[in-house]
């Protein structure tokens, strides 16, 4: 069994059939997790209970079965929830008092990938220490318990309906969506039925797109990673606003009635101003090292503190808890409002943005009118899995040189992705042209470094 680190910034993820996303390894992963849960279990139920949900990928049933087998062999009961967004699994885990929640999903990645995300009993992502302990346990031989001690399997057919009722609570009391026409792009993912139903129940006229999954089309030129699709649909249907989610429903991108796209940083600003105005925002706002400086400056002008975490919604959440704050997010569209959920939730965040529009009687464009965003250009440099990813000592040297080249005009950030085999090169400048030119230049240099060991040694000397 390999000892290579399996967990990235958002669970375990890889192309289907490549380690660790093989049924054998996922079964061992569940077994190792189940052993830890069994050792820690003190509940009234004789065995720990884990909720399992999936997105709409064709490979999901295979990994769902592998998880069930691994947990059962370790003496852990599984509650199978069927297709369910990631934040839905987190909610049901807390609601029913389960010891953990698991989602089979590769989030915004293409259908060829899949992954596994874990939640603790409190609906939070697993702490780093427990992930490390699971990986250490996987090295040990897998031993199946006797038949009398195996975990049992049950179904929760009402899982989606329970989550729909929960999502509705994100809309503040006294508000409704009657008279609004909203396009929802569910990325052919786990929200394909849930998201349109939530908005319909709250009174909106809903046009659903990206809502016919076939097992292969998840995130395929639709959803939060391809917002042009939503923009075109909003204009075609003359809608008031558009909502784009990703495959597992924890990301959000929105479009106004003019077809303009609003990403995570802009939506986070809308949420922060609305909370400051109407709800007495507690503390400041957490972004990440990739958050636009324009967002930071706009919040500071409003007297709101801003702090940056490492990339990943789990790191945003950790910093929120450290500061005792309630609101944070990423430019990618992961938005966390601890007043309404324990984790990032695309549907609930969209409801809060729409609530901000309703409470202020202003459009998205008007709500962002005093937000001056810098131009950002992000280039993903593909690398062979593992190559240049484990040893990133070259990055600080490279970044220092890049910052000197940029001068006072902007900033540069390099990071190895925790979810994909790429190094991300982000350049932020006052003008889009310069950001694009410098990002292209730095990306080419990074690619050369990662494919030329001699050059890499020189750069890190």
Is 274 labelled as part of a ligand binding site? no
Angle (deg, nearest 10), helices 159-168 and 86-96: 100
CA atoms within 13 A on the CB side of 109: 24
Q: Is 154 annotated as a binding residue?
A: no
Omega within 30 of 0 (cis) for the link into 20: yes
Question: Is 240 among the annotated ligand-binding positions?
Answer: no
Nearest one of 21, 354, 44 to 182, comparing CA atoms: 354
CA distance 67 to 236: 43
Angstrom distance (rounded) from CA 261 to CA 180? 18
Active site residue 148: no
Q: Do residues 186 and 195 lie in contact, with contact meaning Cβ atoms separated by under 8 Å?
A: yes
Beta strands in 132-251 (DSSP E): 153-155, 181-185, 205-209, 241-245
From 38, 72, 107, 226, the catalytic residue:
107
Q: What is the dihedral of CA 77, 118, 192, 349, to 10 degrees?
A: 130
Residue 370 known to bind ligand: no
Classify burial at 190, counting beta carbons within 10 Å of its beta carbon; exposed 0-12, middle 13-18, buried 19 or more.
buried
Helix axis angle for 264-274 and 346-360, nearest 10°, is 50
Query: Using CA atoms, how far apart are residues 337 and 267, in angstroms rounded to an integer?
Result: 12
User: What is the DSSP track for 51-100?
Assistant: EEEE-S-TTHHHHHHHHHHHHHHTT-EEEEEEE--HHHHHHHHHHHT-SE
Point out which residues pair with 382 in neighbouring strands. 422
Candidates 348, 328, 345, 351; CA nearest to 85 is 345
Catalytic residues: 107
* Residue ranges at the known binding site: 107, 246, 248, 250
Query: Binding site membership for Mg(2+): which residues?
Result: 107, 246, 248, 250
């Amino acid at each position: 069994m390999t000892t290579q680190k399996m967990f990235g910034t958002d669970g375990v993820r890889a192309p289907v059939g490549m380690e660790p996303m093989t049924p054998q390894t996922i079964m061992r992963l569940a077994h190792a997790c189940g052993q830890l849960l069994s050792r820690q279990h003190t509940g009234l139920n004789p065995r720990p209970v884990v909720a399992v949900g999936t997105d709409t990928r064709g490979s999901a049933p295979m990994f769902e079965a592998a998880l069930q087998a691994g947990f059962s062999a370790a003496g852990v009961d599984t509650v199978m929830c069927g297709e369910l967004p990631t934040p839905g699994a987190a909610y049901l885990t807390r609601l029913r008092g389960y010891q953990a929640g698991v989602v089979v999903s590769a989030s915004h990645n293409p259908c060829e990938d899949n992954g596994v995300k874990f939640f603790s009993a409190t609906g939070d992502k697993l702490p780093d220490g427990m992930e490390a302990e699971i990986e250490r346990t996987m090295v040990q031989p897998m031993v199946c318990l006797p038949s009398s001690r195996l975990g049992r399997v049950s179904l929760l057919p009402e899982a989606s309906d329970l989550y729909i009722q929960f999502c509705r609570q994100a809309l503040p009391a006294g508000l409704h969506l009657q008279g609004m026409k909203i396009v929802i792009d569910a990325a052919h993912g786990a929200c394909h039925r849930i998201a349109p139903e939530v908005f319909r129940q709250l009174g909106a006229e809903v046009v659903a797109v990206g809502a016919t999954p076939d097992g292969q089309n998840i995130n395929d030129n639709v959803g939060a990673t391809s917002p042009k699709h939503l923009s075109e649909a909003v204009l075609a249907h003359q809608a008031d606003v558009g909502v784009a989610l990703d495959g597992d429903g924890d990301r959000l991108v929105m479009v106004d009635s003019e077809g303009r796209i609003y990403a995570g940083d802009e939506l986070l600003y809308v949420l922060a101003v609305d909370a400051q105005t109407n709800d007495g925002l507690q503390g400041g706002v957490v972004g990440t090292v990739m958050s636009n400086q324009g967002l930071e400056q706009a919040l500071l002008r409003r007297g709101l503190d801003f702090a940056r975490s490492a990339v990943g919604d789990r790191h945003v959440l950790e910093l929120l808890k450290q500061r005792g704050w309630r609101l944070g997010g990423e430019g990618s569209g992961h938005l966390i409002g601890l007043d309404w959920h324990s984790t990032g939730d695309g549907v609930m965040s969209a409801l809060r943005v729409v609530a901000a529009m309703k409470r202020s009687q202003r459009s998205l464009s008007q709500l962002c009118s005093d937000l001056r965003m810098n131009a950002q250009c992000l280039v993903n440099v593909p690398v062979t899995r593992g190559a240049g990813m484990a040893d990133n000592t070259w990055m600080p040297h490279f970044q220092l040189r890049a910052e000197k080249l940029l001068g006072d005009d902007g900033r540069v950030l390099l990071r190895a992705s925790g979810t994909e085999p790429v190094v991300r090169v982000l350049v932020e400048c006052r003008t889009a042209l310069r950001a694009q030119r410098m990002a292209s230049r730095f990306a080419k240099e990074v690619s050369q470094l990662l494919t030329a060991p001699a050059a890499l040694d020189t750069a890190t000397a």
